[in-house]
Amino acid sequence: MIKEGRFGFMEAFSIMAIVLVTKIFYGSPMAIIKYLGTAAWYGTLISCVGALIFFTLLYLLMKRFPQQDLFQIFETVTGKLIGKSLILIFAVFLLYKAGINITEFTAVLKVYSMPFTPPSMIILPFLIVVAAMAYVGLEGIVRTAHIFFYLVFGSLILILLLAIPSYDFNYLQPVLGYGLAKTIETGIIRTAAYDEIVFLAIIIRSLQGLQVFRKVGYLTLILGGLTFSVCLICILAAFQYTVGGEHLSGMYQLSRVIYFTRFFQRIESIFLFVWVISSVITVAFIFYISLNAYSRVFNISNHRPLILPFTFLTFMFAFIPNNFAQIMEIHLRVLREFSSVIFIFIPVMVLLLALIRGKKEVKTSGKA
Amino acid sequence: MKEKQKQNQNQNQSLFKSIISLITYKKTKIPPSFTLTESYEESGQEQDNSEQSGSDQGEKEKDEQNSSSKSRRRATKKPLSPSALKSSRVDSDAVKKDIDSNKKILEQQFHLPINKDLIIREFSIGNKQRGFIAYIDGMADKGIINDFILRPLFDEIDDESSSDQQLNSLEDIILTNDTKNLRKVTTTVTEILKGNTALYVDGLDYFITCETIGYNTRGVEAPKTEGIVKGPQEGFSENLRTNISLIRRIVRNKDLITEFHEIGEKSNTTCAVVYLNGVVNPAVVQEVQRRLKNIKTDFLVSSGMLEQLIEDNPYSIVPTILSTERPDRTASHLVEGRVAIIVDGSPFAMIVPVSMHALMHSPEDAALKWQYATSIRFIRFVAVLAASMLPALYIALTTFHREMIPTDLLIAIAKAKENVPFPTLVEILLMELGFELIREAGLRVPGIVGNTLGIIGALILGEAAVSANIVSPILIIIVAITGLSNFAIPNYNLAFGVRLTRFYFIAAGALLGFYGISLALVAYVLMLVNLKSFGVPFISIISPRTKGSRDIIIKWPIWMQEYRPDYLNSPDRRRQPKISRQWAEQDSSDT
């Protein structure tokens, strides 16, 4: 078993908040504004409510097996073979997710900041840092996330505040967007945008009990939902839904419109730090969990020898999309809409199976 | 022919094995790490004790304890480790019962007559028993030897009533303030090397060592690198005893404990471990003892050398041990629950465990009002950021993110750079190199000329470089601010680390602009979060999150600092009651 270390509430909260919120910096706002128009800001709240319901189910599952993490529960409930197969699916999909996240990041960086730098020159140093973080392990990733948590959220708030002169809240009308039914439908489908919360169940043994798990889960989902909603309101208010749906990175564009006198303008590059830092932490976390899952499947006690091949595989995954259209139309739809098949459907099915088969952890004494 | 073929085959096989070993995974040996747990249960104490009993240092201590208590009990025999066996040299180490043998042993040990330092002065007591004293010329105080060892001895000899009883009461005759009975030659030799005098009288199976240390040392002077305006002006000197007395003068507490360890097979350097019993976490003391006892080296001359031998992360660019030359600072850390390690001959105390913020504190902070201290601390943090990242940010800005620079400033920079043939990176590296050269040269040039050289050198070099169109004037400003910021860092070792870190960020900024700097920053923070100082996470309080002591970045008023730092897990967490200014609660008429 890999030694993952232990950490407290704030560290777990920081990593989950960063992982959930990072996608706001990239194509996610564009996609949701395209689908829902002016209703995007509460469409994401519907997704958040869906994620909260899913998390409650996940909590019920974890409560039945308080001494085990999600992967162990898979094996306990479905048996070794199916359990390990499910974990392997998680491992592969997470690696794919890490690769596509890097591609998305690279595409945005190339468009806005480094147009002449080849993608491989952007991806390679990124992956080196990710590999270093994976080498150090979960505790190191989480502590790094906690240190940068304040920087990431502080900068986010700063961007929203500094762009106030550009807001016109009349742009939020018509409030119902393309219709309430479409908003609810898309909102539910896009619950997958918050499905990273499932990672908390994978690292639960590093947390200080089930209560911390519950607290972190609910709070990060609420924080993530509110952050998404507020950011979408600001993007819509600044650019209107027609233009807002065209920007590759709504938040980056928002930071571009900041203008306070001739001296204090075009400061978007400062926020590049936040973009990069939150992306590295997110990818490193996903990459580490993928490594962890793979190690569990084949009973590998030390994940470090796997880092190099997995880095190579992530590099390969990052080069699957040919262009940005492919990233947006295929891969990000897979990640933000259909990933629920893996991250939500499988745990819920396992919960149902546990309920049907009456599987429950025998020894329930201990931390819960 | 067959032999040759066999040899070739063997060579091929070994070559093949070495190639295979290059690509196959080898499990890295992870050294046992020490983590300071929340509860300070003394786990692993037995193990430490067993290790201690095996080492020759432990043997020495036992010998000393045995003799100082004047009991003749032998230390309980325990199996010796191979190293202990080697060093003890069982037979030859015991003190013989006849004077000639003992004298010869000492002569052999000190390479007499080639070595002229050891003085052996023979005498006889009442023409019956022979004896001698041995000391090192220059290390021992001859006045003490004459007046308090030899004179009482001869006075007693002159006294006719004295007889065989003398043998049992030698220690009563000698008037030095401390004597030890040592049954081993090695410990006797160590005592002589310290400056003490060994006395031997025929028939005894032990040496009596008398404290006669009396060599010249530098007096107590103001600290050289930690000077402050407000507060004590005393600094440590090279004398260990003086240093400990300087601490004791501040912390007048019976629980202040000083332990001694001998380190260095050839130098036999004494190191003191100082801590406040009941305040310090015992696990930290044990860990310090464990590390010191398990150092096998031949030579130790400074605290800097010992620091490298005991630190948690030798490859870290950031120091994880705080060095200070101030007794007041050492005392304040002891009272907070830390351990001080002082090396004889070095005017620095090493404080463990420390966290990042402790390195950013200046000794003056304690003496200043909280508002002043807090604002100065903020400046120091800004200084660290500027010293490590300013040149890198300048390169990134002018090379990758020119759109960020306001137009007027951009035109000014472009104008200044117009005649400079080098890229910004080369300019920065040239100036940084020049600055480092001036600094290093300033240190080597003696006296006041060194300081003058630094200022004049920087001025002339900067001016000349701009005139010659080698660098732009803005760059001079950048390098000057960086240099000044580096000097504002209160810890000498940390300032060194930041100097090196600067080049790391310069490389990142030159390669990939802000993107590169961001990645480098994440990697750097990753390194920081994994550092430990004697089991304590180096950036504790931030991550892992612990309760603050109200003296981290913001220095709260002194009466609000009720607790010791949480990460030290002190058994006595509270340092003062909730209301320490109790006079404020009283009615002024109640006196």
pLDDT in tens, B165-175: 545 577 778 88
Report if residue B577 sits inside a domain: no
Report if residue A326 sits inside a domain: yes
Residue found under tokens 């990242």: B389
Is the pLDDT at B458 greater than 80? The verdict is no
Sign of CA pseudo-dihedral A207, A208, A211, A215: negative
Please tell me the predicted confidence (pLDDT) of residue B82.
46
Please tell me the predicted confidence (pLDDT) of residue B32.
67
Interface touch A144/B518, C-beta < 8 Å? no
Report if residue A339 sits inside a domain: yes
Interface residues of chain A, partner chain B, Cβ below 8 Å: 7-8, 10-11, 109, 113-114, 117, 121-122, 125-126, 128-129, 132-133, 136, 140, 143-144, 146-148, 262-263, 265-270, 272-273, 275-277, 280-281, 302, 304-305
Report if residue B111 sits inside a domain: yes
Residue range B19-35: mean pLDDT, rounded: 71
Report if residue B70 sits inside a domain: no
Q: Where are the beta strands (DSSP E) in A181-237?
A: none
B51 vs B430 pLDDT, higher one: B430
Distance (Å, rounded) from C-alpha A68 to C-alpha B8? 57
Which structural domain, as residue segments, surrounds residue B143?
A: 88-210
Distance (Å, rounded) from C-alpha A122 to C-alpha B261? 53
Name the strand (E) or helix (H) holding B461.
helix B447-467
Do B160 and B194 belong to one domain?
yes
Residue range A170-188: mean pLDDT, rounded: 88
Is the pLDDT at B218 greater than 90? The verdict is no
Task: Return the structure tokens found at A234.
Answer: 């600001």
Name the strand (E) or helix (H) holding B201.
strand B197-201
Contacts of residue A262 in chain B, CB cutoff 8 Å?
A: 406-408
Confidence of residue B88 (pLDDT cuts 50, 70, 90): very low
Is the pLDDT at B51 greater than 60? The verdict is no
Is the pLDDT at B420 greater than 50? The verdict is yes
Is the pLDDT at B80 greater than 70? The verdict is no
Residue B260 has φ and ψ, to the nearest 5°, of: -115, 145
- The answer to whether residues A142 and A12 touch, using CB atoms and an 8 Å cutoff, is yes
Report if residue A362 sits inside a domain: no
Do B250 and B286 belong to one domain?
yes
Residue of B237, B248, B513 lying closest to B402 (CA atoms)? B513
Which structural domain, as residue segments, surrounds residue A234?
A: 9-355
Identity (one letter) of the amino acid at B581?
A: R
Residue B198 has φ and ψ, to the nearest 5°, of: -100, 135
- The answer to whether residues A69 and A204 touch, using CB atoms and an 8 Å cutoff, is yes
Number of domains in chain B: 3
Do B191 and B123 belong to one domain?
yes
Is the pLDDT at B64 greater than 80? The verdict is no
Residue of A133, A145, A131 lying closest to A15 (CA atoms)? A145
Report if residue A4 sits inside a domain: no
Of B295, B326, B354, which one is at a domain's C-terminal end? B354
Of B321, B354, B387, which one is at a domain's C-terminal end? B354
Report if residue B584 sits inside a domain: no
Report if residue B120 sits inside a domain: yes
Please tell me the predicted confidence (pLDDT) of residue A3.
57
Q: What is the DSSP string of B25-40?
A: -----PPPP----SS-
Is the pLDDT at A264 greater than 70? The verdict is yes
Is the pLDDT at B362 greater than 60? The verdict is yes
Find the CB nearest B522 among A10, A262, A280: A280
Report if residue A360 sits inside a domain: no
Do B285 and B334 belong to one domain?
yes
Do B177 and B124 belong to one domain?
yes
Reduced to 3 states (helix: H, G, I; strand: E, B; else coil), residue B344 is: coil
Name the strand (E) or helix (H) holding B166.
none
Do B253 and B195 belong to one domain?
no
Interface touch B529/A147, C-beta < 8 Å? yes
Q: Where are the beta strands (DSSP E) in A148-279?
A: 259-260, 264-265
Rg (CA), chain A: 20
Identity (one letter) of the amino acid at B497?
A: G
Report if residue A367 sits inside a domain: no
Residue A248 has φ and ψ, to the nearest 5°, of: -60, -45
Find the CB nearest B515 among A113, A128, A265: A113
Number of domains in chain A: 1
Buried b (16+ CB within 10 A) or exposed e, B410-423: eeebeebbeebeee
Report if residue B518 sits inside a domain: yes
Burial environment of residue A2 by CB neighbours within 10 A (0 to 12, 13 to 18, 19 or more): middle
Is the pLDDT at B543 greater than 80? The verdict is no
Interface touch B539/A263, C-beta < 8 Å? no
Do B103 and B136 belong to one domain?
yes
Find the CB nearest A129 among B517, B522, B544: B522
Do B163 and B259 belong to one domain?
no
**For the domain that residue A298 is a member of, what is the CATH number?**
1.20.1740.10
Chain A, chain B: beta-carbon pairs less than 8 Å apart: 100
Please tell me the predicted confidence (pLDDT) of residue B388.
94
Do B331 and B385 belong to one domain?
no
Interface touch A144/B525, C-beta < 8 Å? yes
Please tell me the predicted confidence (pLDDT) of residue B452.
73
Please tell me the predicted confidence (pLDDT) of residue B79.
46
Q: What percent of chain B has pLDDT over 70?
A: 83
Do B382 and B341 belong to one domain?
no
Q: What is the mean pLDDT of chain B?
A: 81
Burial environment of residue A45 by CB neighbours within 10 A (0 to 12, 13 to 18, 19 or more): middle
Buried b (16+ CB within 10 A) or exposed e, B67-76: beeeeeeeee
- The answer to whether residues B282 and B534 touch, using CB atoms and an 8 Å cutoff, is no
Confidence of residue B190 (pLDDT cuts 50, 70, 90): confident
Do B262 and B409 belong to one domain?
no
Report if residue B72 sits inside a domain: no
User: Helix crossing, B56-68 with B185-194: angle to 10°?
Assistant: 80
Report if residue B548 sits inside a domain: no
Residue range A158-173: mean pLDDT, rounded: 89
Is the pLDDT at B34 greater than 90? The verdict is no
Q: Nearest chain B residue to A301 by CA: give it.
A: B27
Residues whose CB is less than 8 angstroms from the CB of residue A232 and which lie 6 or more positions away in sequence, other chains included: A29, A32, A33, A40, A41, A44, A250
Residue found under tokens 């973080």: A133
Confidence of residue A179 (pLDDT cuts 50, 70, 90): confident
Q: Nearest chain A residue to B406 by CA: give it.
A: A263
Distance (Å, rounded) from C-alpha B442 to C-alpha B448? 9
Report if residue A318 sits inside a domain: yes
Rg (CA), chain B: 31
